[in-house]
Amino acid sequence: MTDILEIAREKALEKGEGLNKDELVQILNIEDERLPELLDLAHQVRIKHCGVDVSLEGIISLKTGGCPEDCHFCSQSGLFESPVRAVTLDINELVEAAKQSEKMGASEFCIVAAVKSPDDRLLDQVGEAIAAINDAVDIEISCSLGTLTREQAQRLKDMGAQRYNHNLETSRSFFPNVVTTHTWEERKQTLDYVREVGMEVCCGGIIGMGESLEQRAEFAAQLAEIDPCEVPMNFLDPRPGTPFADRPLVPLGEGLRAVAAFRLAMPSTTLRFAGGRELSLGDDGTERGLLGGINAIIAGNYLTTLGQQIEKDVDMLNRIDLPIKAL
């Protein structure tokens, strides 16, 4: 039987082809003593097929809390007794956040709203925000506003949004354990509309919600089939008051195997560290991930949890000699 790292070297590194689900299961089960070798291979794949630059992204929530959906990991749901409650930000605050992101080296800024789907009032507000940010800052703008109709996707494209983030969160088979108020297929439909109107598709999910390693491999393979330009990798940060509040954190080795597996599934995709990396991976694990397949970071604070201060992320990239991507 051919060694799985040799298969990965030939397919992902030499040919730029993603590994299939069965191969990814082998990667996720690789022995501890082979983990450094796996991470080194994933890093070689990312350097060859994505280049050396690391993309930084700022993120801000236009509407935080009070969402009608029941995503079990999320403290923004209005259905759970979690401490996040509905607030809205004004346009000046959004522009200031975009300026701060650009100042620290971010090439992308994402506007997020905790809603099932946007209404006309919210889309008007987002349009106003995009215009104001574009007037003040030279930065790419992406949005994450829940499920969209095709018309809404077109409207966002016309407003100037370059990319749309809509995470599938987990594999199709595990999704009903995470969300019951809408389906995996509904989320996938939004991604289809986004691509149809000419926006870039950004789609990832969360590691560590109780899925098996087989389902984790299934998820990576399903994302590869969708072929997003960018995949945010979150690690579960169990939030008080949510159904997943008592879930354990993803162990460091398991998290790093997931990083490598996602890179080997999608050799040329932007793979972005997002929420939960501080808890599951820590500083050491974050650095190992950046030298093990990751080529982008959400820097600063996340939506409802404190992230790394952006200066700390920039210092880390300088320390391990990885250049920050410019616009």
**What would the pLDDT profile of 165-209 be if each residue is shown by its tens digit?**
999 999 999 999 998 888 999 999 999 999 999 999 999 999 999
* Secondary structure string (H, E, C) spanning the chain: CCCHHHHHHHHHHHHCCCCCHHHHHHHHCCCHHHHHHHHHHHHHHHHHHHCCCEEEEEEEEEEECCECCCCCCCCCECCCCCCCCCEECCHHHHHHHHHHHHHCCCCEEEEEECCCCCCHHHHHHHHHHHHHHHHHCCCEEEEECCCCCHHHHHHHHHHCCCEEECCCECCCCCHHHCCCCCCHHHHHHHHHHHHHHCCEEECCEEECCCCCHHHHHHHHHHHHHHCCCEEEEEECCCCCCCCCCCCCCCCHHHHHHHHHHHHHHCCCCEEEECCCHHHHCHHHHHHHHHCCCCCEEECCCCCCCCCCCHHHHHHHHHHCCCCECCC
- Please tell me which of 70-74, 288-292, 301-305 the model is most confident about, judged by mean pLDDT: 288-292
- Residue 306 scores a pLDDT above 60: no
The most confident of the ranges 8-17, 59-68, 90-99 is: 8-17
pLDDT-derived band of residue 305, with 50, 70 and 90 as boundaries?
A: very low
Domains in the chain: ranges and CATH: 4-319 (3.20.20.70)
**Local confidence band at 85 (pLDDT 50, 70, 90 cut-offs):** very low
Q: Look at residue 79 and tell me whether its pLDDT is greater than 50.
A: no
Average pLDDT over residues 55-79: 65
Mean pLDDT for the chain overall: 88
Say whether pTM exceeds 0.85: yes
pLDDT class for 87, splitting at 50, 70, 90?
Answer: very low
| pLDDT at residue number 80 | 41
Mean pLDDT of 106-116: 86
Q: pLDDT, tens digit, for every residue of 212-259?
A: 999 999 999 999 999 999 999 999 988 888 888 899 999 999 999 999
User: Which range in 68-77, 99-108, 294-303 is most confidently predicted, on average pLDDT?
Assistant: 99-108
Which of the four pLDDT bands, split at 50, 70 and 90, describes residue 61?
confident
307 band by pLDDT with thresholds 50, 70 and 90: very low
